Structure 1
Amino acid sequence: MPQGRTRPSPFILFMRKLVSNDQLVITLLAVVIGALTGVLAILFIEGIDFFQTLFMGISGTRIAEHIGSMSWWRVLLVPTLGGLGVGLFVYFLMPGRNVKGPADVIAACEIGGGRMSVKEGILAMFASAFSIAAGASVGREGPAVHMGASFSAWISDALRLSRSNARILLGCGVAAAVSASFNAPIAGALFAQEVILSHYALKAFAPVVISSVSATVLAHQIIGNVKAFKLDAYQFGSYWEFPAFAGLGVLSGFVAIFFVWSILRTQREIQKIPGPQWYKPAIGGFLVGAIALWYPQVFGVGYEATDAALKGNYALALLFGLFIFKFLATVISLGFGFSGGVFSPSLVIGAMLGGAYGVIATSLLPEFSSGASAYSLIGMASVAAAVLGAPISTTLIVFELTGDYTLTIAVMCGCVLATLVTDQMGRQSFFLEQLKARGIDLVDNFQSVLLRQITVEQILKRQGAYINVDAPLASVRKELLYAPGGAVFVVAHDRRLYGVITWENLPEDIFDNHLDHLLIAADLADTNPPVLETDDSLDVAISVFEESGYQQIPVVSVTHGRAYLGCVDEREVMVAYNDALLRKRRQEQGAA
């Protein structure tokens, strides 16, 4: 681990002396992070408007009518050139040549100790603003989450906070970003804990909530208390509608599964196309532009189309058409390499699905129906909940976006059933599926995640039984008799590990005194023993123990030519894992 994390910064030490309470220090930092992240989130939205005005001559999210009045060649040209610009930006400037999002934040929180690059956060913010402004069918919540997390991680690194506190501040940054972007302080706090931190520990809950509130207050002072969707109050029809609501929830779950699969499959297939990656977003942009010639609502985050569906302004044909083509435009945009999130597109797709479902349900049983627009609300919440894997925070963010709580139980029913379908089908959220595609399975490999957080160096305490290469046989026998684990490590004169001696690889006449002056340790050693390096994780250590059958494994230096440093015992590895598991459980239960 970096040395900077072993001792707090002078500022943190000063604050501890001043307030004598670590929790209060983190809470004060949460206020600052909330306010500053709120400013960054607003600047991100303003940046989208700036680029969008530059490209299309209009700002804001209600652009469909303007797009429809643009020349056909311009509708094709803007996303095509925008895709080319995004491709070149990501290819030449973004570390790893990949777009960033919430999946990277989850990975940093679970296995990265809360460490992220602020440079990546800034670059990702620009790439996403450029993508959305150019018409890509992506959302702005993913970039906002990544930006808030990377900024808070930068502060944690600068103040040299512990791993635990760094993860808390990561949640604070995420909550503030969601809160300021969507005017949703409750959902922002719960999203950070449900999706990013994966627990509701009180130690983290208080700072995360305070950060979310801080960002919301600042956003209200700058842009006002504005709801994304302005709706008339819904009227609940009848409790006999609940089978229809449940059916929509189940259908939304299957749509979410296919949506996530389509994006990830498209990304894999596009990567197989020969040539550099930088030109591929331009192809995606051209295809999205072609769709927009008939359905201009697919451009951008899609709030205008969602608002119209929630007000019941779309007929069945348009609802179904937008469901198909917004789905397709989002898969193309993210599959071909544009930068952005999936939350806003999920809302649009769900609203269109729910609206079409509601029109059909209403036509069959009009006397029991709450109206097609009510089904749009349930559909948008259900699809988004299943895609994000966050039924609680998604339910709340939909209510905060709309300001309407009339259909609370119906929305909850749809969200829970949609998430249940994805779980029963063995699928995970979009973010966890992204990590799974990278070889990081946080659900099925919980043990490995914990073990990867601990290195061999952290538990290396045992010197072990060792002798020099030229030690006589009598010394070898003596060491073996008292060696814990029945292994003696043979070390060269330059401290390099030469091999290991166990009872199994000794000759039967080992106790024959006539051999004492004929054999030395080097003659008896297995010169190709299993070894561990100091930066190996305990996940690697357990695999080595299982394959070798040894009770103790020698540890060698990574930098000093296999210099022998000591050994680790299998029991020590299991104790370290058990301690990590207990810490995780205490954290989830609010005790840490």
Structure 2
Amino acid sequence: MLSLLGAVCGLLSALVMALLYWLIMSLSHLFMAGGSEAFESLPIELRAVIPIVACFILAVIFTLLPSKLRSVGVPYVVERLNYHQGILPVLNAVVQFFTVAISLIGGLSVGKEGPAVHLGATFGSYLAQKGRLPQYGVETLVACGVAGAIAAAFQTPVAGVLFAFEVIFIEYRMGMALPVLLSSVVGMLVSEYLLGSIEIFDIDHLSTAQFTPDFFLACLALVGFIVMLAFLFLKVQKILWRIGKVSVWWRFSLVALVTSIVAIYLPEALGGGYDSLLSLLSGQVLISSLLVIIVVKTLLTSVSIGLGIPGGMIGPTFVIGGLAGAQVAFLFDSVLPHNHEMALFILLGMAAMMAACFQAPLTALIAMIEMTHTSEVIVPAMLVIVLSCLIMRLLFRQDSAFVQRLEYVGLSSSVSPFRRYLRHHTVTSVAEPVVVLPAHESIERLKDLGSSVVDYVAFESDGKWMLARREAVLSALQSIHFGPPPFLVVDDDRILMDLTKALDYTPSMVIPEPTSLEKMLAWFQTSGRADVLVAIKQGDKMCLVSRRQLDQFLLKDN
């Protein structure tokens, strides 16, 4: 069931990603030729005005929207997973879809991959709710949606799976592997069918890495450059988070002003930036301006994301890292052994930047292998990825950008092992079966309880549920042999037992089946009751759950 729903998640994630691509391309072609990011081809006046118009539209939308619908993006997905049982409202995803399209059409320096993660996760959450799945199923389908979205965006299925585990759940969950892998494969296949093969740049001349002293020195220089850019990228955002309470008009106006100035003097830094990388590699921009483009792109993306523009940062970090790799290749061009080291160093820069910003080393490594369809990049990529992650974490004390965002607002990016254990078990783990009877039951039916192994019976009287032990019913039946008791009633020539008069019972509450033991424990803590009847979703059955059974389950040795 989970694998089937996971495949559906992958399909929906790829479809919405293709729809987002189509929307951006179609609207961009209305005023721009040469691709959705060819802003340098526009007149200066037009490309300076477009970001202002986009920010104005976004400010109007966010002003009219209620506050609960303004939360979007990857941090919001993690928050809903950890604090709201993975329930992602559909309207927030709708807001995410259209606002990121406006941002990218307007040339704002954000990416579409992060919003795709939000959209894919929402599909998974919606399917889990409709399927009335337990908490473990909800989390699995959210992971399926995330993996399918990343696989569709980059056509890297394994990297999509690792992204879900490393970035969203911050732990590897092998129990989810099969549905998530299936979702990722379906997402990639549908993306290839609808969008064709996504090639960020030509890798026909990717050289084999030879670890000469000069090559090793160039890798160390790349690591140092990437670490500085990643630290700048995160630090600027953290500074701007402090003014998050300022009116959206002030914040978006500042983004519009900065982006408009950049559009006049450096249009290559606008949008997602992949076209800028291709332009640089083809020699359309002077090499001397490359460092300026890198710094401006880093600052512009940080300002846009830090001030609340509804876009992603996964794509821009890829571009920034790729540009940084090109810069290092230019600097060491005279000492590197091959003439085609640029493509290799661009790949290394992309992998290192992603790993440093999101602390996702395996995702970055596998993404590079899947994007290039070659293993030549593995060893040098591992070197720059590991060093970049270690320096960011140990020297600069920087965690993932998403983790830091959640910590800034006082939220945790992960759940404790105890809560995770509770979430992965349903109430059936601690439930005792209950035989549900009518308040007036036939003697023949009650005699069948003698061969039953169920300890409790439940019946409803005057709109209230009562709970009694099976032995009490059998004792009442035995008393019939000593004369007609007062609890027998006759109905259409049938002899029935009035359970309300025959048994010693206790009133009990009935609640719907919780999605996990975490919610069951929370109910006991809130209500203060010792036990409760739970209506099982499947099969219209009922069971008894007691706080004593729950405690024994949690304290058992195994």
Instruction: Please report the TM-score for the alignment, with normalisation by the length of structure 1.
Output: 0.69
Aligned partner of 1:157: which letter?
A: Q
1:415 and 2:389 equivalent? no
Choose which of 132, 147, 161 in structure 2 pairs with 1:160.
Answer: 132
Residue equivalent to 1:261: 235
Amino-acid identity (%): 24
Contact 1:90–1:127 at 8 Å: present in 2 too?
A: no
Residue equivalent to 1:548: none
Q: Structure 2 CA distance, aligned partners of 1:181 and 1:90?
A: 26
1:277 and 2:277 equivalent? no
Choose which of 202, 209, 232 in structure 1 pairs with 2:181.
Answer: 209
Residue equivalent to 1:30: 6
Instruction: Note the C-alpha offset of 1:74.
Output: 1.8
Unaligned runs of 5+ in 2: 432-516, 532-546
Residue equivalent to 2:348: 378
1:387 and 2:357 equivalent? yes
Residue equivalent to 2:543: none
Choose which of 31, 39, 43 in structure 1 pairs with 2:19.
Answer: 43
Residue equivalent to 1:433: 404
1:59-93 CA deviation, whole Å, 9 max, x = no partner?
Answer: 734414423xx1x2222211011001112212322
Q: Structure 2 CA distance, aligned partners of 1:112 and 1:79?
A: 35
Moved more, 184-193 or 40-49: 184-193
Instruction: Note the C-alpha offset of 1:126.
Output: 0.8
Choose which of 285, 288, 291 in structure 2 pairs with 1:320.
Answer: 291
Contact 2:24–2:101 at 8 Å: present in 1 too?
A: yes
Q: Structure 2 CA distance, aligned partners of 1:175 and 1:147?
A: 11
Residue equivalent to 1:230: 202
Aligned partner of 1:138: which letter?
A: V
- Secondary structure of 2:399's aligned partner: coil
Contact 1:111–1:449 at 8 Å: present in 2 too?
A: no
Q: Structure 2 CA distance, aligned partners of 1:314 and 1:374?
A: 20
Residue equivalent to 1:479: none
1:133 and 2:105 equivalent? yes
Instruction: Please report the TM-score for the alignment, with normalisation by the length of structure 2.
Output: 0.73
1:237-386 correspondence to structure 2 within 5 Å: 238-240=210-212, 241-269=215-243, 271=244, 273=246, 276-309=247-280, 315-363=286-334, 365-367=335-337, 371-386=341-356
Q: Structure 1 CA distance, aligned partners of 2:25 and 2:284?
A: 26
| CA spacing shift, 1:82–1:577, aligned 2, 3 Å | farther
Contact 1:311–1:373 at 8 Å: present in 2 too?
A: no
- Secondary structure of 1:293's aligned partner: helix
Choose which of 87, 90, 110 in structure 2 pairs with 1:118.
Answer: 90
Residue equivalent to 2:60: 88
1:341-394 CA deviation, whole Å, 9 max, x = no partner?
Answer: 11111112112222222222334x344786344322211221111112211112
Residue equivalent to 1:66: 41
Instruction: Note the C-alpha offset of 1:438.
Output: 1.5
Residue equivalent to 1:144: 116
Q: Structure 1 CA distance, aligned partners of 2:272 and 2:308?
A: 16
Instruction: Note the C-alpha offset of 1:329.
Output: 1.3
1:502-544 CA deviation, whole Å, 9 max, x = no partner?
Answer: xxxxxxxxxxxxxxxxxxxxxxxxxxxxxxxxxxx999x99xx
Q: Structure 2 CA distance, aligned partners of 1:126 and 1:281?
A: 16
Contact 2:29–2:36 at 8 Å: present in 1 too?
A: no
Residue equivalent to 2:472: none
Contact 1:64–1:304 at 8 Å: present in 2 too?
A: no
| CA spacing shift, 1:266–1:201, aligned 2, 3 Å | closer
Q: Structure 2 CA distance, aligned partners of 1:150 and 1:396?
A: 25
Q: Which runs of 4+ in 1 moved over 6 A?
A: 451-454, 457-461, 570-579
| CA spacing shift, 1:577–1:197, aligned 2, 3 Å | farther
Q: Structure 1 CA distance, aligned partners of 2:35 and 2:404?
A: 32
Moved more, 109-118 or 90-99: 90-99
- State how many pairs are aligned: 454
1:446-487 CA deviation, whole Å, 9 max, x = no partner?
Answer: 469759979xx99999xxxxxxxxxxxxxxxxxxxxxxxxxx
Contact 2:28–2:36 at 8 Å: present in 1 too?
A: no
Instruction: Note the C-alpha offset of 1:246.
Output: 3.3
Moved more, 421-430 or 239-248: 239-248
Q: Structure 2 CA distance, aligned partners of 1:90 and 1:434?
A: 20
1:175 and 2:116 equivalent? no
Aligned partner of 2:365: which letter?
A: T
Contact 2:356–2:385 at 8 Å: present in 1 too?
A: yes
1:4-38 CA deviation, whole Å, 9 max, x = no partner?
Answer: xxxxxxxxxxxxxxxxxxxxx11111122211221
Unaligned runs of 5+ in 1: 1-24, 462-536, 543-553, 558-563, 583-592
1:398 and 2:372 equivalent? no
- Secondary structure of 1:349's aligned partner: helix
Q: Structure 1 CA distance, aligned partners of 2:61 and 2:419?
A: 32
Q: Structure 2 CA distance, aligned partners of 1:103 and 1:336?
A: 15
Contact 2:14–2:149 at 8 Å: present in 1 too?
A: yes
Instruction: Note the C-alpha offset of 1:300.
Output: 0.8
1:255-278 CA deviation, whole Å, 9 max, x = no partner?
Answer: 212211211321323x354xx324
Residue equivalent to 2:514: none
Instruction: Note the C-alpha offset of 1:420.
Output: 1.4
Aligned partner of 1:136: which letter?
A: L
Residue equivalent to 1:524: none
Contact 1:141–1:181 at 8 Å: present in 2 too?
A: yes
Contact 2:321–2:353 at 8 Å: present in 1 too?
A: yes
Q: Structure 2 CA distance, aligned partners of 1:218 and 1:402?
A: 19
Instruction: Note the C-alpha offset of 1:566.
Output: 6.2
Aligned partner of 2:131: which letter?
A: L
